[in-house]
Amino acid sequence: MKHTICYISNETDQLSENELEALFSFILANNPPRDISGILLHNNGIFLQVLEGEKETLKTLFKSIREDKRHHNILTVLSQKINDRIFKGYKAGFSILKDKGDLENLNSYLSLYEGEEKYPKNIQNLLKPFLI
């Protein structure tokens, strides 16, 4: 069953550029082989991540995310069944968004779904604070 989890969290301690790059590399190496699509944003000490995949795979991954000491105050925004993934066709299936250009490209991509289903619109609304 296709499922999505979206969460927001706060960085525990400020991560160095090297620590962030190591985290991003780990995610990009591990998520696609497990057929997990999605996005990760990091800005001003806040993480926003959307994960899409099989429900049991995401449950296991999210458990390890909750145990990760690099962040705290994890707020689950969405955890729901989905009909179709929206990030499977975006770039490599899993993207790290590092700058305003990345956010604008993603916003344009999500705009293609307008009127089709609620899930992409909900994600687009979550991204708005990052686009300011």
pLDDT in tens, 71-84: 999 999 999 999 88
User: What per-residue string of b and e applies to 110-125 under the rule 16 or more CB within 10 Å gives b?
Assistant: beebeeeeebbeebbe
**pLDDT at position 131, please?**
64
User: What per-residue string of b and e applies to 72-82 under the rule 16 or more CB within 10 Å gives b?
Assistant: eeeeeebeeeb
What is the value of pTM for the model shown? Answer: 0.85
8 A C-beta contact, residue 40 and residue 49: yes
**pLDDT at position 91, please?**
67
What domains lie within the chain, and their CATH numbers? 2-99 (3.30.70.100)
**pLDDT at position 55, please?**
96
**pLDDT at position 57, please?**
96
Residue 65 has pLDDT above 80, yes or no: yes
